[in-house]
Structure 1
Amino acid sequence: MPTLSLINFNIVCATLGGFISVFGLVSYLFKERFYLSEALISLLAGVVFSPHAANFIRPQEYALGSEQNLEEITLYFTRLVLGVQLVLAGVQLPKRYLQIEWKSLSLLLGPGMAAMWMCSSLVIWAMVPNFPFLHALIVGACITPTDPVLSNSIVKGKFADKNVPRPLQRIIVAESGANDGLGYPFLFFGLYLLKYIGMGGEGYSGGAGKAMGLWFYETWVYVVILSVVYGIAVGWLSRELLHWAEEKHYVDRESFLVFAIALALFIVGTCGLIGTDDLLACFVAGNVFTQDDWFRLETMDDSLQPTIDMLLNLAVFMWFGAVCPWSSFLNNDVIPLYRLIFLGILILLVRRMPVIFAMHKCIHQIDHIYQAAFVGFFGPIGVGAIFYLSVTREFLHEITVNGEVREDAQKVSEAVDVIVWFLVICSIVVHGLSIPLVKAGYHLPRTISHALSTSTMVEHDAVPIANVHHTHSTATRSSTPTTNRNRKRGNNARDPPEPTVFQIGRTVIRTASSQEQIGTGHAEEPARPVTLIVREEDEETGPESDSPTPPVPTQA
Structure 2
Amino acid sequence: MPTLAVDNFNIVCACLGGFITLFGLVSYLLKEKFYLSEALISLIAGVIFSPNAANLLKPEQYALHDEEVLNTITLYFSRLVLGVQVVLAGVQLPSKYLKTEWKSLALLLGPGMAVMWLVTSLLIYALVPHIHFVEALAVGACVTPTDPVLSNSIVKGKFADKSIPKELQKIIVAESGANDGLGYPFLFLPLYIIQHTGVGSDHNIGNAIGAWFGETWGYTILLSIVYGAAVGWIAKELLHWAEERHYVDRESFLVFAITLALFLVGTMGMVGSDDILACFIAGNTFTWDDWFRLETMDDSFQPTIDMLLNVSVFIWFGAVCPWKEFYTNDVIPIYRLVPLGILVLLLRRPPIVFAMHKSIHQIEEKRQALYVGFFGPIGVSAIFYLYITLDFLRKNVTVDGEPRSDAVYLMEVTKIVVWFLVICSVIIHGLTIPMSKFGLWLPRSISRAVSSARAESPEPFHISENPEDAEEINEGLRRRAGAGSSTAANILPRSVYRIGRTIIRSDNSSRSHSRGNSQAPLPLSNAPTISSNDLSNETSKQDPTSSNTHVNTSQPIQLNQRAIRFPDEVNPPQAA
Q: TM-score range by the shorter chain?
A: 0.7 to 0.9
Q: In 1, distance between residues paired with 2:297 and 2:27?
A: 21
Look up the SS of the partner of 2:2 in the other structure. coil
Question: How big is the shift at 1:452?
Answer: 2.6
Q: TM-score scaled by structure 2?
A: 0.81
1:187 counterpart letter in structure 2: L
Instruction: Provide the residue aligned with 2:126 in structure 1.
Output: 126
Instruction: Provide the residue aligned with 1:484 in structure 2.
Output: none
Sequence identity percentage:
64
Tell me whether 301-310 or 453-462 shows the greater mean CA deviation: 453-462
Question: How big is the shift at 1:207?
Answer: 1.2
Instruction: Provide the residue aligned with 1:295 in structure 2.
Output: 292
1:401 counterpart letter in structure 2: V
CA 1:428–1:513 in 2, change beyond 3 Å: closer, same or farther? closer
Question: How big is the shift at 1:429?
Answer: 0.2
Instruction: Provide the residue aligned with 1:175 in structure 2.
Output: 175
Q: In 1, distance between residues paired with 2:72 and 2:459?
A: 71
Q: In 2, distance between residues paired with 1:3 and 1:460?
A: 64
Q: In 2, distance between residues paired with 1:460 and 1:67?
A: 67
CA 1:511–1:16 in 2, change beyond 3 Å: closer, same or farther? closer
Question: How big is the shift at 1:129?
Answer: 1.8
Q: Deviations over 1:462-520 (max 9, x none)?
A: 9xxx99x87999xxxxxxxxxxxxxxxxxxxxxxxxxxxx9xxxx9x8899969xxxxx
CA 1:554–1:237 in 2, change beyond 3 Å: closer, same or farther? farther
Instruction: Provide the residue aligned with 2:97 in structure 1.
Output: 97
- The correspondence of residues 132-151 of structure 1 with structure 2, limited to 5 A, is 132-151=132-151
Which of the numbers 415, 419, 422 marks the counterpart of 1:421? Answer: 419
Look up the SS of the partner of 2:324 in the other structure. helix
Question: How big is the shift at 1:128?
Answer: 1.1
Instruction: Provide the residue aligned with 1:340 in structure 2.
Output: 337
Q: In 1, distance between residues paired with 2:459 and 2:279?
A: 66
Q: In 2, distance between residues paired with 1:315 and 1:459?
A: 51
Instruction: Provide the residue aligned with 1:442 in structure 2.
Output: 440
Question: How big is the shift at 1:400?
Answer: 1.2
1:270 counterpart letter in structure 2: T
- The correspondence of residues 413-492 of structure 1 with structure 2, limited to 5 A, is 413-458=411-456
Look up the SS of the partner of 1:326 in the other structure. coil
Q: In 1, distance between residues paired with 2:138 and 2:79?
A: 20
1:409 counterpart letter in structure 2: A
1:114 counterpart letter in structure 2: A
Instruction: Provide the residue aligned with 1:54 in structure 2.
Output: 54
Q: In 1, distance between residues paired with 2:450 and 2:102?
A: 53
Q: In 2, distance between residues paired with 1:382 and 1:340?
A: 17
- The correspondence of residues 225-304 of structure 1 with structure 2, limited to 5 A, is 225-304=222-301
Question: How big is the shift at 1:333?
Answer: 1.5
Matched, 1:371 2:368: yes
2:419 counterpart letter in structure 1: W
- The correspondence of residues 342-357 of structure 1 with structure 2, limited to 5 A, is 342-357=339-354
Q: In 1, distance between residues paired with 2:474 and 2:338?
A: 70
1:152 counterpart letter in structure 2: N
Q: In 1, distance between residues paired with 2:457 and 2:127?
A: 58
Question: How big is the shift at 1:81?
Answer: 0.2
Which of the numbers 355, 361, 383 marks the counterpart of 1:358? Answer: 355
Look up the SS of the partner of 1:397 in the other structure. helix
Matched, 1:402 2:400: yes
Question: How big is the shift at 1:28?
Answer: 0.5
Q: In 2, distance between residues paired with 1:422 and 1:554?
A: 72
- The correspondence of residues 142-221 of structure 1 with structure 2, limited to 5 A, is 142-198=142-198, 202-205=199-202, 207-221=204-218
Q: Deviations over 1:447-470 (max 9, x none)?
A: 1221232133237999xxx99x87
Q: TM-score scaled by structure 1?
A: 0.84
User: Is the CA contact 2:265–2:279 (under 8 Å) kept in the aligned structure 1?
Assistant: yes
Question: How big is the shift at 1:335?
Answer: 1.1
1:431 counterpart letter in structure 2: H
Q: In 2, distance between residues paired with 1:171 and 1:356?
A: 13
- Provide the alpha-carbon RMSD of the alignment: 2.8
Question: How big is the shift at 1:186?
Answer: 0.2
Instruction: Provide the residue aligned with 1:43 in structure 2.
Output: 43
Q: Deviations over 1:284-314 (max 9, x none)?
A: 0000000000000111111110000000000
Q: Deviations over 1:409-461 (max 9, x none)?
A: 11110000000000000000000000000001001111122123213323799
Instruction: Provide the residue aligned with 1:486 in structure 2.
Output: none
Equivalent residue pairs, number: 490
Q: In 1, distance between residues paired with 2:239 and 2:333?
A: 55
Q: In 2, distance between residues paired with 1:250 and 1:510?
A: 64
Look up the SS of the partner of 1:246 in the other structure. helix
Instruction: Provide the residue aligned with 2:32 in structure 1.
Output: 32
User: Is the CA contact 2:484–2:548 (under 8 Å) kept in the aligned structure 1?
Assistant: no
Q: In 2, distance between residues paired with 1:160 and 1:441?
A: 18
Q: Deviations over 1:197-239 (max 9, x none)?
A: 13xxx22215100000000000000000000000000000000
Look up the SS of the partner of 2:131 in the other structure. coil
1:103 counterpart letter in structure 2: K
Q: In 2, distance between residues paired with 1:435 and 1:78?
A: 26
User: Is the CA contact 2:483–2:548 (under 8 Å) kept in the aligned structure 1?
Assistant: no
Instruction: Provide the residue aligned with 2:529 in structure 1.
Output: none
CA 1:324–1:455 in 2, change beyond 3 Å: closer, same or farther? same
Q: From the CA coordinates, give the structure whose radius of gyration is larger.
A: 1
Instruction: Provide the residue aligned with 2:12 in structure 1.
Output: 12
Tell me whether 122-131 or 284-293 shows the greater mean CA deviation: 122-131
Question: How big is the shift at 1:326?
Answer: 0.2
Matched, 1:320 2:330: no
CA 1:555–1:108 in 2, change beyond 3 Å: closer, same or farther? same
2:324 counterpart letter in structure 1: S
Q: In 2, distance between residues paired with 1:318 and 1:404?
A: 33
Q: In 1, distance between residues paired with 2:159 and 2:481?
A: 42
Look up the SS of the partner of 1:458 in the other structure. coil
Look up the SS of the partner of 2:211 in the other structure. helix
Question: How big is the shift at 1:131?
Answer: 1.8
